[in-house]
């Protein structure tokens, strides 16, 4: 099982899309193990997007991410990082495939509704940034035996 960090960006919260986007993750069979509404400040945004510090879009990205509250989620499942990236779609809303979150709910390339960790290393770093205070709740889901094939001993 992997756990990944999802952020519903300020545009998703302002546009009232939180429920519909979270539903897509739940519908897929992913498990929510952390969830909160919060305001990102400059210090947290710069840590979270440290890899992008030299990019031309960085100042606008930090301004956007700190402009209004976000909803952050810790999301768990087999291959959760890749599964979430596929559900999100391509970075630019104008290019993201129909059927994906970015493809279905937006057209902007920067206001693209959702962030998801892109590697196990990024997930570990981002989960500790946003849920490091014990905010991830581990709990059993009895329905997992219908979400996954567990006949081999581990969920597949």
**In the Cβ-directed half-sphere of 135, how many Cα atoms lie within 13 Å?**
20
144 binds, options Mg ion, ligand UDP, none, Cβ within 5 to 8 A by partner type: none
Choosing from 1, 23, 57, 137, the residue that interacts with ligand UDP (CB under 6 A) is 57
Binding segment (CB under 6 A) for ligand UDP, from list 29-37, 72-80, 108-116, 132-140: 108-116
Strands ordered across the beta sheet of 31-38: 31-38, 70-77, 2-8, 114-116
109 binds, options ligand UDP, Mg ion, none, Cβ within 5 to 8 A by partner type: ligand UDP
Q: Does residue 94 contact residue 103 with C-beta atoms inside 8 Å?
A: no
Identified catalytic residue from 9, 48, 76, 115:
115
Total site size for ligand UDP, rule CB under 6 A: 9
Q: Does 115 bind ligand UDP (CB under 6 A)?
A: yes
Tell me which H or E stretch contains 71. strand 70-77
């Amino acid at each position: 099982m992997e756990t990944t960090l999802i952020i519903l960006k300020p545009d998703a919260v302002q546009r009232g899309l939180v429920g519909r986007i979270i539903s897509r993750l739940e519908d897929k069979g992913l498990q929510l193990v952390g969830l909160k509404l919060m305001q990102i400040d400059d210090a947290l945004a710069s840590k979270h997007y440290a890899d992008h510090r030299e990019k031309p879009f960085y100042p606008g990205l930090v301004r956007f991410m700190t402009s209004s509250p976000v909803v952050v989620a810790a999301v768990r499942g087999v291959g959760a990082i890749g599964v979430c990236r596929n559900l999100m779609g391509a970075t630019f809303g104008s290019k993201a495939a129909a059927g994906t979150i970015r493809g279905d709910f937006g057209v902007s390339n920067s206001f693209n509704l959702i962030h998801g960790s892109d590697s196990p290393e990024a997930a570990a770093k981002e989960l500790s940034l946003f849920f490091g205070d014990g905010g991830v709740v581990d709990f059993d889901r009895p329905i997992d035996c219908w979400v996954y094939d567990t006949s081999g001993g581990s969920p597949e």
